[in-house]
Structure 1
Amino acid sequence: MLLLLGLARPAAATPEDILVASPAHPAQFVEDRYYSVFEDPSGRLPISQVSSPAYASRFATLAGTPLPPNIQHPRSIYWLRFTVRADEGPASDWYLELYDSHIGAATLFRPLGNAIPNQAQAYDSVLTGANYPFATRPLPYKNFLFDLPLRHGRPVTYYLRLHSDSPTSFRAMLHSGPGLLPEMSLQYWLLGGFYGILFIMLVYNLFLYFFLQEKSYLYYVFYVLSGALLFLSEDGLGFQYLWPGSAAVNHLIAVAAPVLLLLTFAQYARSFLDSAARLPHLDRTIHWVVSLSGALLVLDAAVIHSGFSFWLYLLPYGLLYYAAWQAYRGGLRAARYLLLAQALVAGSLGFLISRKLGIEFYNNAYTVYSLNVAFVVEVAVLSYALADKIKSLMDTTLLTQRRLLKQLRKRHQAQDQLVEQLRENQALKDQLNTELEALVAQRTDELRQQNETIAAQNRELLETNSLLALQSAAIEQLNHDLSRDLQDQKEARLQAREFDFGEFSQLYPDKDACLRYLADLKWQHGYRCRKCNHEKSCEAREPFARRCTRCRYVESATTGTLLQKCKFPIVKALYAVFLLHAHRGRYAPAELARVLELRPATSWAFAQKVLAALERRRQAPDYEEGESWTHVLFDDTANADMETLLETA
């Protein structure tokens, strides 16, 4: 993966050392003391102005400073100046190789001929970079390779103009012509072997997936493909051989390959470790962390361009490593291979991070390609881990099958014993059935005789029950007639005005009985709403009250009667109306208060209300002498007038 860091502008201008091109050293690493750097934030300075004496003091080396040899600001143009002197010896060609294949535009300015005094030095230029098709490169090589025309014994100053859309590093190597070709051939052979191993592992595991239908192999194939895509982007072989005409595709793959590698490895590791079943809580955490990290990586590559997105890989890879450790502790022995493989990759990434940070730490051919070696070893180890896991599952399956076979043998033996026992039981059963049949036949005869006796007795009982039923009906009819006569007698006595309060209380023992009596009298001819004259109603919450289905008006059983808003028990009030009607109003209020146990003022006020109603009833056109006392109950004319009088009493 590509790690991005920045370079701050040097604080003081210092001249660079002269790089000596000697046949004794056919390959030299261009250290930071051999070049000086100048940042052009505007990006518009031409070579004639940058190479002028006025700008010579603005170049400064990074030797002795803690600053890494990296590009910090993607919008700036960085000029690198370096001087090369060819040592005396056989004439040969020399080349400058830039290792970072993600530099967007790299232009080498080479001086033309001898400089004329008092005139500006003329330069020719060679332009290439990751933002241009591969055909623009001066030499068809995976890295940026420039021809350096040298003059023996005389130093030559070159200028390198760098511009990149993302932070990249400046790493260069000076090669002699005779030593470059063998090194290039060796690199291509080694990289070819590397991709060949990846291809073999990919095809091998793809066939295993088709045969075994194990999804872990398919995820492993996607992981190897993502890794191959990442390495093709990093070492430049993909741009050289697969998509040489599209710089946009090269840039897209460079951005997308690390994200795809993270996603595919996470899916493979989760499937390999069975984390959903073994570590469900950690598996959900890994899923969300990997998804969020992938989204942030895409956002940084498309919009932010921070150059520090490699830190986003630490948390998801760390969680996956922790999950492998937990799975190993939980009994999945194959997880140790995943731990080993990731440890090798982590170690090789340490060398890559040190180079990207500008730290000179074992920077040689072994550490540069250590990530390739580690990835090959990881691919082989993970493939072996999958095979070991499948073998472990198969061994477990075989062991389970053997245990099942043993259980089946024991079950067959038990079944044979059971069959023998069943045969013995069948013989005993046949013997018992024979004996039981004889006993059943004997018992059947006895039961038939008993049934005949019981049937005769049942006939006698039916005749007796018929007589008892007739007697019960007669008794029930007599009880009904007696109850009706008793009720009629009570009603007659009530109409004859012969009831005392005790007997009246037996006829109407409580408030509910009084309310039921009033409701039956009030709505015996049907319901009609007092507000809207609607004739349909339903039950209300108050006992024996009615609610209008149209206007929702609730009318109680006492509404519109002398008992409306009565301040004492309704049973006493009902009996007071009965007494005053029975004595035609000539009943002393004091005696009424004594009988009903009321205060004299309350008794007198209620008696006045009833007497007024009796008087109005006598004056009514439909008044009949000796009519029932219930006609007085529904005279509510005095309710409003007597309300204040009752409250005062």
Structure 2
Amino acid sequence: MTLRFYLFVFLSLLIPAAIAAQPVYSINDSVGQHIFTFQGIEYLEDPTAKLTLADILAHHQSEFTFSTTNFNPENVNPTSAYWHRIRIQHNKSSKKQWVLEFFDQTIDKIDLYVPDGKGSFKHFEQGDQFEFTKRMLRHKNFIFPLDNNRNDVVTYYFRVQSQQQAEVIVVLRSADYLMEYALDEYFFFGIFYGMILVFIFYNLLMYFAVRESHYIFYMLYLIGIGLYEMSADGIGFQYLWPLAVEWNQYAPGFTLYLASSAALLFASSVLNLRKDERWLFRLLMLVLALRTVFLILSIFVFTAWFSYRFIEIIPFSAALFVGIYRWKTGYKAARFLVIAYAFLFYGALIKVSLYFNFTWMPFGQLSHYSLSFGFVMEMLFLSFAISDKIRLLRIDKEVAQERTIEQLHENQRLKDNLNQELEMQVKIKTAHIEQQKEALEDANKLLAQQTAEIAAMNALLERDNDQLKHDVAEVKEARILSKDVDFEEFSAMYPDDASCLKFLAERKWHDHFNCRKCSNTAYSEGKSLYARRCTRCGYEESVTAYTLLQNTRLPINKAFYMIFLVYSSKGSISSHKLSELLHIRQSTCWAYSNKIKKA
């Protein structure tokens, strides 16, 4: 140490009245821990962030003061450095090892100055700007072991500087108490993050099972909440990114953005806003867009905005409002979502109150873990919301099935009545037939004699009938080709693809076949309808190949009708008229009619 520094130490010893009013805590083995509150910590703000310990000891001892508004001191101005001091009465007879623990894991840098009893100070530094592997104790909090091999009153100075708002929560603990508390704390952390992992994998499996988008949104929400809690608790820095110290400044902002965005999308999906309430859907999308703009500005323009975590109360409030509105309008599946976001809103309000100092809130497990408690309850009730929606959908399905069954029963009753009426008519007809039976028996004797003649006549009639059908078909075809007919009449002639393909096959091959590859004339039936397959080389030619119908996407009978209309009108029919007759887009009619004209 330099002579100047020893002079500063000497001067600091000359002004004991400056710290005489500060209470002294005595180490006692019967008390496992002591939390230094506003009554036990003095602080001094250094707006320049350039003061050294020597400057503090020489010129600024009388400027230390107690916090009168906060339970714990805070770095209200992120650009300033804050000096603090506490006084501890050491007890050399203590059988325990003692440590100083700082609860806030987001502090960028802590410089601890410990008097060594020889007029100088030992300097220790920790913070989230240093790699986690360089910590004195591998714990999520900042822990400084103390040398208790002394019986004097020691004044500890520590300098805190952080870009984000941080609370100076200092606890004196025995190593035994620290170990017991840490084991319990990490155990509950394991339960908490284990619950999140279980919910994530469960919703992933449910998504693969039912393909509902809200499972994906809920899974993304859980991932965002889990990563945010890990960044806030220091677990993420300890286990996920121990070497990426820069990520400590951005992790809360990015993870909260993921959580709030997924929460908005989840609420929109579960509440069916896109389908049932478009204006609420647009409201949530507007909030999501504004939150995205805020994130972009935080990255590229105002980096200090990453510490404004209270902004997340806006998207969660929007989701809560939408849920309440849907619940009041009769959508029962919204009730658990409202309860879930109400718990989260409660935890967020406590955190915001602590952030803005709206009310005096003493430090404790309830205030420190209020948001985590809100997240746990929210996860449970959001899962209930999904299950409740599925239950309501199942009830609606069962009601629809019951109505279907009732309708089927009614149809069966009508069918039975119809069958009874038919049976009655059959009985009447049967009686009438019986009356005519005797007359028919007499006539049968006469008919038996004429059977041979009738059989011959029937044969002639069958041939004449076949010829007549053929003539009628040709007449109908000729009539169709000779005058305008509508599509309904044309469809009566060619009702389906089979009749169209049959007509095309008759016109294409005329009962003969010539293979295009080997010129073989022998063929067999192909795989497709009316296709022909060469018996020599196996080449199969479909009936539409090398015709206007090849590769057409139009229905065959409509394509037939379009060809008929184009040819019958000698190409004068317009594409608009074709579109009106065939109910096909005009552009498609225009393209295909041009293809017909070019053929």
Distance in 2, Cα, partners of 1:364 & 1:317: 25
Matched, 1:37 2:35: no
Matched, 1:101 2:105: yes
Partner in structure 2 of residue 349 of structure 1: 348
Distance in 2, Cα, partners of 1:65 & 1:344: 27
Say whether the 8 Å CA contact 2:224–2:255 is kept in structure 1. Answer: yes
Matched, 1:113 2:112: no
Matched, 1:59 2:57: no
Match of 1:72 among 73, 76, 80: 76
Shift in Å, 1:224: 1.0
Greater Cα shift, 356-365 or 104-113? 356-365
How high is the TM-score relative to the length of structure 2?
Answer: 0.63
Say whether the 8 Å CA contact 2:340–2:378 is kept in structure 1. Answer: yes
Superposition pairs of residues 316-465 of structure 1, within 5 angstroms:
316-357=315-356, 360-415=360-415, 417=417
User: 2:378 is paired with a residue of what secondary structure?
Assistant: helix
Say whether the 8 Å CA contact 2:38–2:70 is kept in structure 1. Answer: no
Deviations 1:551-606 (A, max 9, x none): xxxxxxxxxxxxxxxxxxxxxxxxxxxxxxxxxxxxxxxxxxxxxxxxxxxxxxxx
Say whether the 8 Å CA contact 1:84–1:150 is kept in structure 2. Answer: no
Partner in structure 2 of residue 223 of structure 1: 221
User: 2:100 is paired with a residue of what secondary structure?
Assistant: strand
Change (3 A) 1:76 1:363: closer
Distance in 1, Cα, partners of 2:260 & 2:339: 18
Distance in 2, Cα, partners of 1:185 & 1:225: 25
Distance in 1, Cα, partners of 2:73 & 2:165: 11
Deviations 1:505-537 (A, max 9, x none): xxxxxxxxxxxxxxxxxxxxxxxxxxxxxxxxx
User: 2:324 is paired with a residue of what secondary structure?
Assistant: helix
Q: Which structure is higher in RCO with an 8 Å CA cutoff and minimum separation 6?
A: 1
Partner in structure 2 of residue 161 of structure 1: 159
Distance in 1, Cα, partners of 2:69 & 2:230: 34
Match of 1:84 among 81, 88, 95: 88
Say whether the 8 Å CA contact 1:297–1:312 is kept in structure 2. Answer: no
Deviations 1:414-445 (A, max 9, x none): 3455577689999999x9xxxxxxxxxxxxxx
User: 1:33 is paired with a residue of what secondary structure?
Assistant: coil
Shift in Å, 1:78: 1.6
Distance in 2, Cα, partners of 1:199 & 1:183: 24
Change (3 A) 1:362 1:163: closer
Give the letter aligned to residue 386 of structure 1.
I
Partner in structure 1 of residue 143 of structure 2: 145
Distance in 2, Cα, partners of 1:146 & 1:415: 89
User: 2:301 is paired with a residue of what secondary structure?
Assistant: helix
Shift in Å, 1:401: 1.4
Matched, 1:197 2:195: yes
Shift in Å, 1:385: 1.8
Shift in Å, 1:264: 0.8
Deviations 1:118-147 (A, max 9, x none): xxxx22222221112101211110011112
Say whether the 8 Å CA contact 2:340–2:377 is kept in structure 1. Answer: yes
Matched, 1:123 2:121: yes
Distance in 1, Cα, partners of 2:37 & 2:87: 12
Shift in Å, 1:333: 1.6
Say whether the 8 Å CA contact 2:28–2:94 is kept in structure 1. Answer: no
Distance in 1, Cα, partners of 2:353 & 2:169: 13
Distance in 2, Cα, partners of 1:67 & 1:100: 14
Superposition pairs of residues 232-631 of structure 1, within 5 angstroms:
232-300=230-298, 303-304=301-302, 305=304, 309-357=308-356, 360-415=360-415, 417=417
Change (3 A) 1:184 1:66: closer
Provide the alpha-carbon RMSD of the alignment. Answer: 2.8
Distance in 1, Cα, partners of 2:353 & 2:172: 21
Distance in 1, Cα, partners of 2:154 & 2:283: 59
Partner in structure 2 of residue 172 of structure 1: 170
User: 1:168 is paired with a residue of what secondary structure?
Assistant: coil
Give the letter aligned to residue 153 of structure 1.
N
Partner in structure 2 of residue 501 of structure 1: none
Unmatched 5+ stretches in structure 2: 1-17, 433-599
Distance in 1, Cα, partners of 2:299 & 2:154: 39
Change (3 A) 1:60 1:311: same
Give the letter aligned to residue 56 of structure 1.
Q
Say whether the 8 Å CA contact 2:107–2:160 is kept in structure 1. Answer: yes
Distance in 1, Cα, partners of 2:32 & 2:71: 28
Distance in 2, Cα, partners of 1:193 & 1:314: 26
Change (3 A) 1:287 1:334: same
Distance in 2, Cα, partners of 1:65 & 1:265: 35
User: 2:217 is paired with a residue of what secondary structure?
Assistant: helix
Give the letter aligned to residue 182 of structure 1.
E
Give the letter aligned to residue 259 of structure 1.
Y
Deviations 1:468-497 (A, max 9, x none): xxxxxxxxxxxxxxxxxxxxxxxxxxxxxx
Say whether the 8 Å CA contact 1:85–1:152 is kept in structure 2. Answer: no
Give the letter aligned to residue 280 of structure 1.
R
Shift in Å, 1:251: 2.6
Deviations 1:70-96 (A, max 9, x none): 112222222112221125752422211
Say whether the 8 Å CA contact 2:98–2:148 is kept in structure 1. Answer: yes
User: 1:107 is paired with a residue of what secondary structure?
Assistant: strand
Change (3 A) 1:247 1:66: closer
Matched, 1:134 2:132: yes
Partner in structure 2 of residue 608 of structure 1: none
Distance in 1, Cα, partners of 2:177 & 2:242: 26
Give the letter aligned to residue 132 of structure 1.
F
User: 1:37 is paired with a residue of what secondary structure?
Assistant: strand
Shift in Å, 1:32: 1.5
Distance in 2, Cα, partners of 1:302 & 1:93: 47
User: 2:243 is paired with a residue of what secondary structure?
Assistant: coil
Distance in 2, Cα, partners of 1:200 & 1:307: 29
Deviations 1:234-285 (A, max 9, x none): 1111111111111122332222111111101111111111122232212211
Aligned residues: 411
Give the letter aligned to residue 351 of structure 1.
I
User: 2:246 is paired with a residue of what secondary structure?
Assistant: helix
Say whether the 8 Å CA contact 1:286–1:320 is kept in structure 2. Answer: yes
Say whether the 8 Å CA contact 1:18–1:34 is kept in structure 2. Answer: yes
Distance in 1, Cα, partners of 2:426 & 2:328: 57
Partner in structure 1 of residue 577 of structure 2: none
Say whether the 8 Å CA contact 2:71–2:360 is kept in structure 1. Answer: no
Give the letter aligned to residue 124 of structure 2.
V
Partner in structure 2 of residue 531 of structure 1: none
Unmatched 5+ stretches in structure 1: 1-12, 116-121, 432-649
Matched, 1:48 2:54: yes
